[in-house]
Amino acid sequence: MVRLIMGVKGSGKTKQLIDLINNAAKDEPGNVVCIEANAALTYDINYHIRLIDALEYKLNSYEALRGFVCGLYAGNYDISHVFVDNLCKIVAGDVDQGTEDFLNWLDNFGEKNNIKFTTTISADAEAATDGMRKFL
């Protein structure tokens, strides 16, 4: 299952994400992971959440991020929810067909492995492709 949160800068995505992450720390039966483009959320989220700074791993493409997510799961089958903050900033790209393809892959991977994914993209929701709209 994938949930997509889109909005322009300053629209409250980060506040919403912080609330969702902290609630997941209390409610999720497994481990919760947050992948972000920098370490900005370090002091805003519960210390039980595994916070990963994507810049440390040079996840600058959807393929690299896909491999990273697979590696996370291969190393910890107890992951139940993964949050990805500012997806397009992590992969240094724009909202396009590659974004849609990645979200579809996340959805399939999550269904197969019983993992929920919540992703934010800093762009107007009107920029979402038709295939991305099902995740909004």
Q: What is the 3-state secondary structure (H, E, C) of 110-129?
A: HHHHCCEEEEEEECCHHHCC
How far apart CA 110 and CA 116 sit, in angstroms, is 6
How far apart CA 94 and CA 64 sit, in angstroms, is 16
- pLDDT tens for the chain, 136 residues: list them: 999 999 998 899 999 999 999 999 999 999 999 999 988 888 899 999 999 999 999 999 999 999 999 999 999 999 999 999 999 999 999 999 999 999 999 999 999 999 999 999 999 999 999 999 999 9
The maximal CA–CA distance of the chain, rounded, in angstroms, is 37
Measured CA to CA in angstroms, residue 18 lies from 4, 14, 23 at distances of 14, 6, 8
Q: Which class in CATH covers the domain with range 2-135?
A: alpha beta
pTM over 0.75: yes
User: pLDDT tens digits for 69-95?
Assistant: 999 999 999 999 999 999 999 999 999
The tokens for 61 are 């493409």
